[in-house]
Amino acid sequence: MDKITGHDTGPSCISCGYSHSRTLNVAPRVRSWLRVDEKLGVGVCSECSEWVAAWDRGVRHATPKSDGEARSEASAPEGLDNLIRQAVLPSLPHVLLEVYDILASEVSSSKQIAALLETDAGLTARALRLGNSAFYGMSRKVSSVSEVMLLIGAFDLWWLLFTTEVKDLFFGIDRQLMDMNRFWKHSLFTACASRVISEKYRLGRPGELFVSGLLHDIGKLLMLQQIPVDYHMVLKRASEGEVLIDVERDLLGYTHEQASAALLEHWKLPASLISAVGEHHLEVDTLSDKLVVAAANRLAHRVLEESEEELPEEVLKIDVNTEINPLYERMVNFVT
């Protein structure tokens, strides 16, 4: 009940802020409710059907404008600490994290890794599907994780399984909010470029930097999953020419870099990997261990989007067609 007018205010749309009572005096367009929670006083109106998927994932945020106007700004943002604390964060199979620890050690054993993967039925099934995919063209059926590892390699099998798990964790993000194929292509190119730069110039650990490159933008998916209405406003302003991380700070109080790092910390990944992810928008004047992912990210934008990213001479000397694309094209074939 509105304390001033005495009228029942009714629910408000989480996207546009529409409320029936707010339009009583203005000849409103006829709308119905696609989703509604009377107790919370929010819903999704028929003009905002693209937000049904977000609603079905549990989104109930709403800060409607007065007089039935659509929201033009994101609602008052929760801090990153609140986002991480309150969200039901996606979790990775602990087996994958244990395998990563083994791969990162200097005494990794293929037999040990295969045995560990085989303790998880889902990962075993994924590994066998990868080994028997048309890409490898095996004349006989691969029937064990050990055989798949011999075919693909221990680390490549790990990142393929890891990537498919992460994709599943964030399945269902509205395609109107994010082009997921484009997202993964950028992430995969950044991962490949990170690995090549690391190997070519002996900077950091290639495998770890590869994973950092793969996950550097994962915070975008976290925010699209947890606060899709707010992050849509961020992406809208960025699409109109504003700098993404500046808009994130303005509307949310934190950036996707920080959200990515917070999620990886939740997953208990190594500190050096988290650091590379959390600083991938730093300026890259000269190459160093901590700037490999930042340089790879800029190279990905330069190659895939033909943007005019400034890069050190060492990165510009890399022959993308022969040094990055073979690995990248193989990855894209599997993942997108």
| Strand 33-37 versus strand 12-13 pairing type | unpaired
- pLDDT at site 89: 66
Q: Name the β-bridge partners of 151.
A: none
- pLDDT at site 150: 87
Residues 281-293 have pLDDT tens digits of 999 988 999 999 9
Q: Name the β-bridge partners of 13.
A: 43
Integer Cα distance of 290 and 278 in angstroms: 10
Integer Cα distance of 170 and 166 in angstroms: 7
pTM of the model: 0.71
Instruction: Indicate the Cα dihedral angle 307, 310, 314, 319, nearest 10°.
Output: 10
- pLDDT at site 66: 35
Q: What is the DSSP string of 142-208?
A: --SHHHHHHHH-HHHHHHHHHHHHHHHHTTT--TTT--HHHHHHHHHHHHHHHHHHHHHHT-S-HHH
Q: Where, residue-wise, is CATH 1.10.3210.10 in the chain?
A: 170-335
Rg (CA), the chain: 23
Per-residue pLDDT of the chain (336 residues; tens, 9 = 90+): 433 334 445 777 877 777 654 443 333 445 788 888 877 778 888 877 767 766 766 666 543 333 333 333 333 335 787 777 666 666 778 888 888 888 887 677 888 899 999 998 888 998 898 888 756 666 678 888 998 898 888 888 898 898 888 888 888 888 888 899 999 999 999 999 999 999 999 999 998 999 999 999 999 999 998 888 899 999 999 999 999 999 999 999 999 999 999 989 888 888 989 999 999 999 998 899 999 999 999 999 999 998 888 899 999 999 999 999 998 998 888 777
Q: May I ask the CATH class of domain 170-335?
A: mainly alpha
- pLDDT at site 41: 78
